[in-house]
Structure 1
Amino acid sequence: MTRRPLPGFRRRALPLIGGCAAALLIGASGALPANAAAHPSGSAARPPKAAAPAWDGTLWATQLQFDDHGTAWSQASFAALKADGLNSVEIDLPWNTLEPSAGHYDFTELDQELGNAAAAGIKVVPIFWQAGWGGSPANWITSREVKSDGTQGDQPVWWDPTEQPEYFDYVTSTLKHIVSNPGYGGSILDYGRLDAQWDINSGAGGFAPADVAEFHSAYLPRTYGTVAAFNTANGTTYSSFDQVPAAPAGQPLAGVYQAFRAWSVQDTYSRLAAAARAVTNTPLYFYYGGHVGDGANYANNPDTFFKVAKQYRVTIIEDAANSPGLSMLFGSLSRAYGVKVAQEWTAPTDDASMKAQAAQWVSLHAMDLPQNGGEDFFIHDGTSKDTIGWPVYTGFVPTLEGMTGSYPTKPAAVYIDYSLAYGNPSGGSLGAPEDHITNLWLAQQAGFSVVTSQEVANGAVKLGQFKAVLPLNGVDATLKSYQSGGGTLLTSDAQMAQYAPAYVRLSGAGTAQTVPAVANDRRSASLTLAGISPTTGYDGPVTVLPSGLNLVSGSYHLVDAAGGTVLPQKAGADGGLCAAATLATGALAEWKVVPGAIPSGTPVPAACA
């Protein structure tokens, strides 16, 4: 879910997509050399603590308000987080505090916090909200985005010819000031409302006069070249681009304007990342907020962010990572694009489900391997989540830090037609796929991939690499081509098991989940188990299937990761290893699958007899 707040374009030489970005010359300092040339840029027991690794941008983090009730966060505050196993904090920057008037900056408190964090061994990752969080936008930014019915949002007009460059200047000016500070760890870039871009009250913004002007003067000529070409493509008879309506959903030509809104996100985030990369080589992050079903309204299309992130070496932070369907999608895209993904948990509003959701989120960590960017807890603010969810997270961070390898996948995939969000009114509905993926995975505990239509269009994946594909929201032209080329289109969830056999069998879905990480040599694996039901624990057999994990052929047995003790277990005729697990609500455990036959004399659990 997205966060909710607590108490004729002037381009200023900002490069368009496909334009020039600053050279990325890596040196000891995060700042770029002055002579850089320009070119496009493509609860387990805690293990012993090792020396702190060099900062690579991997987040073991929590989010914090900008300051502690008006006072800079102290060294002691940061040291307490360090003692809990964290290496970084994300701090919500208030634009109005840092730039109280246009071009005039006050970095006093931010500098103090960076210094205190550095002294405590913590990295600060500022969040550059444009709007939606306290203090952003700055008070002197006065335009406001609107929906097609005139409903006003709290974010500035996206394409305001003065105010968009002002946000870019705010970001780059702040970066130039803090980039060499030892407490600085990178920046999170967020344009639009919070991490949900065009969102206005869960609806679609983008209909302010400045947006429509950009649509007419920039997008349509760039996309179609001439009005005649537009008319041919759309069956219209306009004499100028200015006559083309900014049509909302449900009206003729709505797809054209939706495509513009989707393009706006890609164009703006690309230029924003390029502007930041012109200043620094330090880590950059994009927040993804919302869910798959928000694609048409928010234009928060995952492939848009992954494509830009790949070009500018940006890590994507997946909000609402306790959704298995969303995490499976982002893990698959991470591997396809070669982009790091960090996961973030936004706690539920009710305490009753909080512990179970925290465990579900934490246990999904391995889904992003090998491109994992860490974890973030939203938000450390003294509320009940700090007493319920925080111990679940911090108690397992040392285990997460030691995870390596990859999430095992089979040559089978589910497929989401995302074209509706990119301007195809006939595209499949996006409301159901995320939950469909969640339910399929919870029931089957198998390593299938999630593929999107835009991922295929971007060339990040080829459907031909999969033996079978299950459509989730209709059969589009891409799937028809795949099928005509010999690919198998599945028609039911049950068929998936034939092509993506389970790596674990549980006695019932909905109370527990398991997420594996397989070693690079495919001779061992770790397995995170979680109790995910807020009302019912899990007490029953867990059968681990080495073939489903893609392990090399051979004998294996199970050990408890915390102490290396051989678990009571039994080998099955199908090669499965049956052990028993008792998981309370919100409990986490870590097992390992290691080479060698089950040691003689190992007891057999009653659940496996």
Structure 2
Amino acid sequence: MFKKASRKHRARTYLISVPAALLAGLVVAGAAFTAPLFGADAATTTATATQAAASSTLWSTQLKWDDNGAAWSEASFAALKAKGLEQAEIDMSWNTVEPAQGRFDYTELDQEIANANAAGVHLVLIFWYSGWNGSPASWVTSHETTASGAQSATPAWWDRTDEPAYLAYVTDTVKHVAGEAGYGGSVLDYGRLDSVWDSTVSGQVDGWAQADVDEFHNVYLPQTYGSIGAFDSARKTSYTSFAQVPAATPGQPLAAVYQLFRLWSVQQVYGQLAADVRAVTASTPLYFYFGGHVGNFANYENVPEVFFALAKKYDVTVVQDCSESTGIDLLFASLGRAYGVNVATEWTAPSDSTQLAAQAVQWIGNYPMMLPEGGGTDFFIHDGTQKDTVAYPIYTAWLGHLKGLSGSYPQQPVAVYLDDSLAYGSTSGGALGAPENGIASLWDGYQAGFSVVTSEEVDTGIVKLAQYRAVLPINGVDANLTAYRNGGGHLLTAASQLSTYAPAYATLAGSGVLQIAPVVDAARTGAQLTLADITSGAAYDGPVTVSPAGLGLAAGTYHLVDATGQAIPQVAVAGGLCASAGVPAASLAEWSVVAGAAPAGTPTPAGCGTGTPPPSCGALTANQQLTAGQSVTACNGGYKLTLQGDGNLVLSRSGTALWSSGTAHSGATRVVMQGDGNLVLSTGTGAAVWSTRTATHSGAYLDVQNDGNTVLYSAAGASLWSTGTAGR
């Protein structure tokens, strides 16, 4: 079926107009600058009735464009339906659908949608500007340029022909299929795959094509500053025209200006895509892909708040495709709740095939974090390779459980704070190397319902820090945190302090093996628990204590049941309900917390409540720490364990050293008795320089004894490590 395009060229609509009067409010601190572009509703296109479209939940897998040159058959889709999948996504081939500019061939696409519909599956179309087979179309000739001047295979972002041609291709295709019964929505992408300004040139980013530079000079700068005089005043420069302002590369003066232009470009094009499609159909489910990690925010300019603001405006679900990262999942779950936007999660197979099952389990096990804004799950990609053999059965076997989740991930009044201002042009913002790893590590040892809040959310009024009893910075203290502290908020300095303000919902016998993600029902009288062993070879066989208070349940009596509704062996302890979990490596289990006492005769499990309590003095217990200059002293006052200012951990008697960690001049600034039983000495950046190597012993504690020995004991009282200094 061939169609001519309804429009070959369209008038461009600029979504953001910054009046010159606003320039007086620009914040300038040296080279640091934040343009007032990225508020909660920064895209200001006039709202229309098309914005009332309802989002759908994605229970899906991806497919290639077709089955080796032929349309996917009804039988192919029926096989997916039999596994519980409700949608399938296909990676669109721009070249096939639009073989010549303005001439569309929908023959194969229509057949695939019809075949999907016959099998009871809805087909979701993934539109790519570049990076997937068949995209860009062969007639697209422009090329991006990297900061170093190298040519990229990605078409130029602001090319005057290719950019409007892509928008027309997406919009006209959606208009064509919107009424077809098997059509299930569209994923809107631009730039390089879902990584926005990423480049095909290894280790570089795009954004310096001549078309981009022209847009910078002719549109962005005049629209943002109004006059070159206003620009000079804000930037302490002396240019006489916008054309003289350099398209600065990273590390050069005014690099932040061009960085903000590239971020503005993301907002412009993604906003235009969503607005155009919503003008065609109000009801089609729409999705934005988010690819990359926190470390990419300031170079790919894929900052999530821009996507979430647009998603809120145009009723779009955000698909987070880095769900192998628990830290990213926690961040996006919090963003979804803050913006009121659904978040779907996608799993991408690891390069290490031995981790396929473990990572798939982690992805599935993390999904409850997204609720109540859960947008579903997507398996990437169903293509007959090893991940289909190993991971796909795990996913499809657990789909029924995922679909049955109802309620919300528990929320406590504590937050982890991520300063992401570096992605918004601030040269003094916190480092964005890999803070998600720190967030994940924190959650591994402290399974609690804390939020992750970004500086941009606070700057734009999406989140108010005052609602939290305590806040822990993950990458530095900025003006927002200083104001929070000055206003009476509790600004924490160590992860171990969080539990003072909010209880964990689950305590495990060690971190890094088992994780638990709960969903609490709307009445707060019960919870569904997803237990996930996220290792490739270590089964979890130990106690789990579930805290009704940490879950935020209403006051009352509760007990634990398994997936069949039968009470499991358990006992009420001071921290909640203790049970023994036996979860094989790389597998999932389901428990529930239900109202009422456990049935009479419920067995008491081994490992619950049998430990020897730590002493009231001379001890470091789970998640307690020493910072430089601090000590813990034996109960008789004769022995002292001190973290010296030079980074050495020293046990002494009357000033004489008896033992040390041998870490002088290592940069170590704190020693933590971790919840997993490991005593770890680390630097200010979190790098470990020494440990007792006693992880997987939850409840362990360190005792500076009266006899001169310092011993690390298990919760059951067994010696795990010592300084060997008894009697000295």
Superposition TM-score, scaled by structure 2 size: 0.77
**8 Å CA contact 2:14, 2:268 repeated in 1:** no
Q: Who is 2:512 aligned against?
A: 510
**8 Å CA contact 2:15, 2:271 repeated in 1:** yes
Q: Who is 1:320 aligned against?
A: 322
Q: 1:24 Cα deviation (Å)?
A: 2.7
Q: 1:203 Cα deviation (Å)?
A: 2.8
**8 Å CA contact 2:147, 2:204 repeated in 1:** no
Q: Who is 1:24 aligned against?
A: 49
Q: Who is 2:702 aligned against?
A: none
Deviations 1:473-503 (A, max 9, x none): 1111111111211112111111111123210
75-84 or 255-264: bigger deviation: 255-264
Q: Unaligned stretches of 5+ in structure 2?
A: 1-8, 17-42, 611-728
Rounded to whole Å, the distance in 1 between the matches of 2:380 and 2:76 is 17
Pick from 444, 448, 451 the counterpart of residue 450 of structure 2: 448
Q: Structure 1 or 2: larger strand share? A: 2
AA of the residue aligned to 2:347: W
User: Is residue 255 of structure 2 the alignment partner of residue 254 of structure 1?
Assistant: yes
CA 496–534 in structure 1, closer or farther in 2 if over 3 Å, else same: same
Q: Who is 2:185 aligned against?
A: 186
Rounded to whole Å, the distance in 1 between the matches of 2:549 and 2:99 is 60
Rounded to whole Å, the distance in 2 between the matches of 1:387 and 1:133 is 24
Q: Who is 2:66 aligned against?
A: 67
Pick from 493, 498, 502 the counterpart of residue 495 of structure 2: 493
Q: Who is 2:522 aligned against?
A: 520
Rounded to whole Å, the distance in 2 between the matches of 1:19 and 1:549 is 39
Q: 1:15 Cα deviation (Å)?
A: 5.0
Rounded to whole Å, the distance in 1 between the matches of 2:203 and 2:537 is 30
AA of the residue aligned to 1:159: W
User: Is residue 288 of structure 2 the alignment partner of residue 289 of structure 1?
Assistant: no
User: Is residue 437 of structure 2 the alignment partner of residue 435 of structure 1?
Assistant: yes
Q: 1:468 Cα deviation (Å)?
A: 1.1
Rounded to whole Å, the distance in 2 between the matches of 1:438 and 1:99 is 44
Aligned residues with identical type, % of pairs:
57
**8 Å CA contact 1:21, 1:274 repeated in 2:** no
AA of the residue aligned to 1:544: V
Rounded to whole Å, the distance in 2 between the matches of 1:461 and 1:380 is 38
AA of the residue aligned to 2:561: V
Q: 1:328 Cα deviation (Å)?
A: 0.4
CA 345–57 in structure 1, closer or farther in 2 if over 3 Å, else same: same
Rounded to whole Å, the distance in 2 between the matches of 1:243 and 1:15 is 23
Rounded to whole Å, the distance in 2 between the matches of 1:147 and 1:11 is 28
**8 Å CA contact 1:414, 1:451 repeated in 2:** yes
Q: Who is 2:131 aligned against?
A: 132
Rounded to whole Å, the distance in 1 between the matches of 2:253 and 2:475 is 23
CA 517–304 in structure 1, closer or farther in 2 if over 3 Å, else same: same
**8 Å CA contact 1:310, 1:338 repeated in 2:** yes
**8 Å CA contact 2:55, 2:286 repeated in 1:** no
**8 Å CA contact 2:526, 2:594 repeated in 1:** yes
**8 Å CA contact 1:62, 1:379 repeated in 2:** yes
- Name the SS of the counterpart of 1:571 in structure 2: strand
Q: Who is 1:227 aligned against?
A: 228
**8 Å CA contact 2:84, 2:399 repeated in 1:** yes
AA of the residue aligned to 1:254: A
Deviations 1:280-310 (A, max 9, x none): 1211000000111111111010101000000
Q: 1:19 Cα deviation (Å)?
A: 4.8
Rounded to whole Å, the distance in 2 between the matches of 1:363 and 1:329 is 16
Q: 1:153 Cα deviation (Å)?
A: 2.2
- Name the SS of the counterpart of 2:184 in structure 1: coil
**8 Å CA contact 1:22, 1:277 repeated in 2:** no
Q: 1:220 Cα deviation (Å)?
A: 1.1
**8 Å CA contact 2:537, 2:586 repeated in 1:** no
Counterparts of 1:294-309 in structure 2 under 5 Å? 294-309=296-311
AA of the residue aligned to 2:343: V
CA 417–457 in structure 1, closer or farther in 2 if over 3 Å, else same: same
- Name the SS of the counterpart of 1:278 in structure 2: helix
Q: Who is 1:77 aligned against?
A: 76
AA of the residue aligned to 1:162: T
**8 Å CA contact 1:85, 1:398 repeated in 2:** yes
User: Is residue 499 of structure 2 the alignment partner of residue 474 of structure 1?
Assistant: no
Rounded to whole Å, the distance in 2 between the matches of 1:349 and 1:154 is 24
Q: Who is 1:7 aligned against?
A: none
Greater relative contact order, per chain length (Cα 8 Å cut-off, separation 6+):
1
Q: 1:454 Cα deviation (Å)?
A: 1.0
Q: Who is 1:50 aligned against?
A: none
Deviations 1:67-109 (A, max 9, x none): 1111110000000000001000110001000000000011111
User: Is residue 573 of structure 2 the alignment partner of residue 572 of structure 1?
Assistant: yes
- Name the SS of the counterpart of 1:515 in structure 2: strand
Q: Unaligned stretches of 5+ in structure 1?
A: 1-9, 26-40, 43-54
User: Is residue 100 of structure 2 the alignment partner of residue 98 of structure 1?
Assistant: no
Rounded to whole Å, the distance in 1 between the matches of 2:330 and 2:377 is 15
**8 Å CA contact 1:464, 1:487 repeated in 2:** yes
Rounded to whole Å, the distance in 2 between the matches of 1:164 and 1:86 is 34
Q: 1:317 Cα deviation (Å)?
A: 0.3
Rounded to whole Å, the distance in 1 between the matches of 2:256 and 2:14 is 26
Q: Who is 1:217 aligned against?
A: 218
Q: Who is 1:30 aligned against?
A: none
Q: CA RMSD in A?
A: 1.3
Counterparts of 1:324-473 in structure 2 under 5 Å? 324-473=326-475
CA 56–316 in structure 1, closer or farther in 2 if over 3 Å, else same: closer
16-25 or 147-156: bigger deviation: 16-25
Q: 1:390 Cα deviation (Å)?
A: 0.5
Q: 1:599 Cα deviation (Å)?
A: 1.5
Q: Who is 1:533 aligned against?
A: 535
**8 Å CA contact 1:22, 1:278 repeated in 2:** no
- Name the SS of the counterpart of 1:158 in structure 2: coil
Greater Cα radius of gyration, structure 1 or 2? 2
375-384 or 343-352: bigger deviation: 343-352
Deviations 1:32-69 (A, max 9, x none): xxxxxxxxx59xxxxxxxxxxxx952111000001111
Q: 1:241 Cα deviation (Å)?
A: 0.9
- Name the SS of the counterpart of 1:523 in structure 2: coil
Rounded to whole Å, the distance in 2 between the matches of 1:133 and 1:279 is 25
Deviations 1:113-163 (A, max 9, x none): 000000000000000011000000001111111111012222111111111
AA of the residue aligned to 2:327: G
AA of the residue aligned to 2:381: I
AA of the residue aligned to 2:592: K
15-24 or 324-333: bigger deviation: 15-24
Q: 1:449 Cα deviation (Å)?
A: 0.3
Q: Who is 2:21 aligned against?
A: none
**8 Å CA contact 2:55, 2:315 repeated in 1:** no
- Name the SS of the counterpart of 2:127 in structure 1: strand
Q: 1:11 Cα deviation (Å)?
A: 5.8
**8 Å CA contact 2:55, 2:317 repeated in 1:** no
Rounded to whole Å, the distance in 1 between the matches of 2:265 and 2:454 is 20
Q: Who is 2:107 aligned against?
A: 108
Deviations 1:229-253 (A, max 9, x none): 1111111111111111111111111
**8 Å CA contact 2:71, 2:108 repeated in 1:** yes
User: Is residue 145 of structure 2 the alignment partner of residue 143 of structure 1?
Assistant: no
Q: 1:432 Cα deviation (Å)?
A: 2.5
Counterparts of 1:532-551 in structure 2 under 5 Å? 532-551=534-553
Q: Who is 2:584 aligned against?
A: 584
